[in-house]
Structures are given as C-alpha cells and as structure tokens.
Chains A and B, each alone.
Chain A
Amino acid sequence: MKRIIDNIWLCLFGFVVVATTLFLLAPLLMVLVMSFDGRSFVGRFPPPSLSLQWYAKFFSDDYFLDGLWTSITLGLSTAAAATVLGTGAALFLDRTRFRGRHFLIALFLSPLIVPHIVLGFGLLVLLRHAGLDNVFLSLLIGHVVVTIPYAIRIVLTSLQGLKANLVEAAMALGATEYRAIWDVVLPLSRTGVVAASVVALAVSMDEVTMSVFLIDPFTYTLSTALFATMRDSFNLVIAAASVLLMGITCMAVLLLDRLVGLDRIAGQGDR
C-alpha cells in the first residue's frame, strides 16, 4: 500500500515536470515554425510550406529596424549600468552590517513586486516634472530601475556563497579592503556578475508595460513596436521578430559563456 502511494506521488511529480516543459517549449516551437510560414496570411498550424518572407518583411521595414536598434543599444546600456550599480550595491550590502540594512535590501528589490504600469506612470510624471525630455535616457532610467533588483539579487547570492574571510586573508597579506575585493571577491563572483548582466539584457529586451509610457513616435523599442503592430494588424512579422529577439538573447548568453567561461569557474570559492 505504502509503495502504491509512493508510486502515485512519483507519477504526479513526473506529470507536472512534463506538463511544465511542454507549456514552456510548445509556444516557443510554434512561434519558431510559424515564423517560416510560406502562406501570406495567418493560418492553421502547421504551415503547409516554408519561406523567409516574414523575415524579409521585417528587415525591409524601418519601423521595426529602428525599434530593434533602440532595443539593442538600450538593452546593452541597461545591462552595463544595472550590472555595475547592482554589483556595487550587492558588495556594499554584503560587506556591511548596519541598522536598516534589511529595509534597504527590501527597498532595492521592490521593483520586482511593484507593477510595471505603476513604475512607468510614476517615472513618466517624475521625469517630465524634472524636465527630462530625452526619450532614450528616460527609457534607460526606467529599464535600470526594473533590472537592478535582479542584478542585486543575483550578485548578492553569489557573494554569500563565498567564504567570509577571503577579504581578511587578502588584507592580512597586505591588500587594502578595496584591493582585496578587486583581486579576490570580484573574480570569484564572476559567475553572478555575468548572470546579472544577461538577465538584465533579457529583461530589458522584453519590457513593454513600462516602456509604452516613456516612448514617443521617434524613439521606441522593438517590443513596443511589435505590441503596437499586433493591435491593428496581426501578421507573422511578429513571429519572425520574436525569434530574432530570442536569438539575440541566446547569442548574448553563448558569447558571455565563451568569454568568461561560466562552467570553468562555477563552484569555485564555495564554503
């Protein structure tokens, strides 16, 4: 009897894993296939013929290309800024103990739970009030606000996995605290820092809700452009663009993996 119940549980867990995987992968696969659809209208799945027409349409449309360019530059700038600021904040939070530290951590992480629509509206009001009318800069500020909690969280976690007295060991050998962090802590938390930048890039490329508050007709991101297109004419350029977005993120991960060697250093400096 015990064994039967045990087996039922195992089957249930197995089913959940399979179902989750399916729901995660099925839409991606469908989008991937549909983006190569040979028909000129949105028809039933699977497509009877394949072509690159939607990609051609995408790359011949300046509306999308402008958006893509903005998304890439914005994504990279956001990733850079969020990683630097987030790493700094995480180092500070990890190396100090003071009253209100936990409050500060909660505050830094709050953009994770505050709806982006609230953040977008709030930022719009604030930035206009402050007289900032540069749309790209507004978008950058917004995206950094949204991505920095991820960066802090990820770097903080990787810092907490390090031996607490690594800095002391370096200081006893003649390093200043700043130097010890640079020589020992940062190299050992490299995995976290890199992961933070990848997540920041991905989140920035994906962000729509807040961005729609901050864009104007001349400066907009690819995702907001896709969103706007989808509302008035649903065609498969969106699928092609989505595949491109996925491709860019995957490339970024692979490239960073190559450059930094994520596997090689993973697991070093653990407790």
Chain B
Amino acid sequence: MLSPSSALVVDLRNVTKTYGTVVAVESLSFGVRTGECVSLLGPSGCGKTSTLRLIAGFEDWDAGTIQISGVSMQGKRPYERNVGLVFQDYVLFPHMTVEDNVAYGLRRRGVAKAERSRRIAAMLDLVKLGAYGTRYPRQLSGGEQQRVAIARALVTEPEVLLLDEPLSNLDAKLRVEVRTEIKEILRRVGITTIIVTHDQEEAMSMADRIVVLNKGKLMQEGAPGQIYNQPANRFTADFIGRMNWIAGTVVERDRLDLGHQHAMSVKQLGAGVGQRVEVGIRPERLQLSAGPPGGGAANVLPVVVSGVEDLGSDVHYRVIAAGEIPLVVAEKNSGRPLLALGDTAHVAFEPEHCIVLPNDRDQTTTRERSPA
C-alpha cells in the first residue's frame, strides 16, 4: 500500500511542533506524491497552518522528520528549499509591478535576464494576466492579485506548491469561479500541491486526497469520496458534511432498538447485543414522504416536521423522528409542494447508508492510503 518514500515529494514522519505548552502538531505523518494535490483540512487551530509553515521552513519542529524529494529539511532555511508559497492574503510586494513581483524569485535565484523575461511572460499568460505586467497590485482585483501570487510562486518551478486558505479572501460567488481557475492552472502545470483549508467543499473539489486534522492530530486520510462516505471517526463524520446521529441498543447482529417500539436495520453493526451505539446517516440519504413510502424501504420512521429551510435548489427539513430523534433531511427542490411546520411524514433509508463507528469516538486515528 505504502509507496516508497522516493516517490513522495513531501514526506512528514511523526512530526511534532509545540509552542510553549501548546501542542500545535502531534506526531503527524503523511506524504504527497508527485503531481498530487493534497488538502490539509480541519477547523481553525487544528495545526494545518503550522504544518504548512514547517514545510515552508519558517519554523523548526521539535520531533520527527520532514523530507522534500528525499532530502531532510532539518535546519534548512526557507531560501534553501524549493517550495512555492501562496499566502492567504497573497502578500504581493505593493511597491513592485506585477512583472517585478513575478521576477523576484527568479532574480534571487540568479536567472539571466532573457530567460527571466521569457518565463515571466509564459507564467503571466498561464494565469491570464499577460496584459497586466506593468500594473501595481493595488490596481488589481482580489482574484487577479491571487493569480499574481500563484504566478510568483510557480515561476521558480518549485518542487511543491503550498496554498494557504486560497479562497477565504474572496466573496462566495467568486469562490467557485476562482476554485475552477486555480484547479485548471495547477492541472496545466502538473505541480505537486498542498492546500490548507477549513472549508470542506474547497478541499473536496480541489484535492485528490484529503488529510483531516484536529487538535494537531491526523484524523483520517483518503480520497474525498472515501472520507465522506466512510468517515473513520465521529470528528471526520461531523466535520465533513452534515451527519445525523441515531442512538439505539443492539438487539440483533444487524438490528437496533430505538425505543418507543421503533427499530432499524443496520449493515454490520460490529457491536454485541445489549450495547448502546450511535449510527450516522447523511441528510441526503434520507427520503421524506408525506404518506407511507412504497417500494419496501428497509427502514421507515414516522417524523414530525419541526423546521423548513428553503435554499432554492435544495430544501432542508428539520424533523423529529420516532418521537425524539432530531434529524436533518436534505431534499432536491423537485417543484412539488413543500411540507410545512408540524406536518407528519415518514423518512425511509437503506441499511447500507448507515455509518457505524467504533465506540471510542474522537480518539480514533486511522491511516488509509488509497493504492498507489
């Protein structure tokens, strides 16, 4: 399963970083393969930005090893590494033109003038800013400034590109557009990339693989779909997307008693009879119907609608199932009349969509690597 470390551009092994008594990164290990785009995803304070700063060389770590292309980065200053970095707020040099900003890294690396001009022109074309070379950063929009920052980081042909919260400074509408643009640029350059973000949508749409972090620890690692559909622990399940939790007592190998004469089937409970377990199910896996559902769904629970959120393309219902279980149901807006507050209805769902997690909640740390 594990690829040999030579194929890894970035390789972190058991890296620990503390600030005073605060542990920012705890025994973190992960790798990024050539050309791969990996997202470090987690809430603020989870250690993702600290990790980025360790890779960029702005800080020293306390234990473990960090290698870039098989070379230890121990004690290597930022200018002794070949890492491209795009800051959250871009940090363009305001007193330099777009061209001079992009030229800076080439100048510091002693690239000759003719070669420099050629590479700057090619890079500005790539980010579609060919005509903006003589402008100053303050004359550009936020999205344009970001493309300059990406061009500035890419022009030196770094071994790995680090993006720190690339979309957080843009407004919601622009975000999706810029996301597609960045993805296209990265694809064309074919560069190995690490994207730090707290936004799961950003991570899922841009990354080939997601590394979920919480409190400095690796929670789960895997492809976006895998993380979403098979979360390894409660934290990942709750952080990536929304999750309904249904508590019950195991009565049979695959059957859960929910109390009040309600029960449901679950595939592979993995817990002994009599134990209390919680089962997760995604809001869009629940089907809501006014009358009793046809088609013989395996699990049906009666619900009362306690809230309706009409988002335009989707409708989110808050319902109380089986008298006491709060659930969120996400439905596509199909055009039929919405259910109203206080309506009674039914939810139906399949046993194979239920997610059963090991008992020891947040503490679990698993490593899953997709086959290389």
Contact = CB atoms under 8 A, between A and B. Distances in A.
A183 B91 CA distance: 14
B65 to A, nearest CB: 21
Determine the main DSSP class of A at the interface with B.
helix
A171 B79 contact: yes
A188 B152 contact: no
Interface string A177-193: 00100011001100000
Given A172-B85, A174-B108, A166 B91 contact: yes
Interface in B46-73: 56-58
B79 A269 contact: no
Interface in A117-146: none
A187 B95 contact: yes
A173 B91 contact: no
B78 interface: yes
Contacts of A269: 94-95
Given A170-B104, A174-B108, A268 B78 contact: no
A172 B108 contact: no
A172 B95 contact: no
Interface string A252-271: 00000000000001001100
A174 B87 contact: no
A172 B104 contact: no
Nearest to A171: B78
Given A168-B58, A170-B104, A183-B104, A175 B79 contact: yes
B139 to A, nearest CB: 12
Interface residues of A, number: 20
Nearest to B91: A169
Nearest to A174: B108
B179 interface: no
B138 A172 contact: no
Given A168-B78, A183-B104, A174 B156 contact: yes
Interface string A229-271: 0000000000000000000000000000000000001001100
B138 A268 contact: yes
A163 B152 CA distance: 18
Nearest to A188: B95
A172 B94 contact: no
A10 to B, nearest CB: 36
A176 interface: yes
Given A165-B87, A268-B138, A173 B95 contact: no
Interface in A145-179: 163, 165-166, 168-176, 179
A187 B94 CA distance: 10
A265 B136 CA distance: 12
B104 to A, nearest CB: 5
B93 interface: yes
A193 to B, nearest CB: 14
Contact of A172 (B56, B92, B93): B56
Contacts of A165: 87, 91
A175 B96 CA distance: 16
Q: Which of A163, A168, A172, A188 has the most CB of B within 10 A?
A: A172
A173 B138 contact: no
Chain B contact patch, size range: 20 to 34
B89 interface: yes
A173 to B, nearest CB: 4
Contact of B95 (A163, A169, A268): A268
Contacts of B91: 163, 165-166, 168-169
Contacts of B89: 163
Nearest to B53: A168
A171 B53 CA distance: 12
Nearest to B58: A168
Contacts of B105: 173-174
B83 interface: yes
Interface string B264-276: 0000000000000
B84 interface: yes
Contacts of B253: none
B13 interface: no
Contact of A265 (B79, B95, B108, B153): B95
Contacts of A173: 79, 104-105, 108, 152-153, 156
Contacts of A175: 79, 104, 108
A218 to B, nearest CB: 47
B77 interface: yes
A224 to B, nearest CB: 42
| 9 closest Cβ pairs, A-B complex | A174-B108, A173-B105, A171-B78, A172-B85, A169-B91, A269-B94, A268-B94, A174-B79, A175-B108
Interface of A: 163, 165-166, 168-176, 179, 183-184, 187-188, 265, 268-269
Interface of B: 56-58, 77-79, 83-85, 87, 89, 91-95, 104-105, 108-109, 138, 152-153, 156
10 contacts: A165-B87, A168-B56, A168-B58, A169-B93, A170-B93, A173-B79, A175-B79, A176-B77, A183-B104, A184-B93
Given A171-B78, A174-B105, A176-B77, 19 more contacts: A163-B89, A163-B91, A168-B56, A168-B78, A168-B91, A169-B85, A171-B57, A171-B79, A172-B78, A172-B83, A173-B153, A173-B156, A175-B79, A175-B108, A183-B93, A184-B93, A188-B95, A268-B138, A269-B95
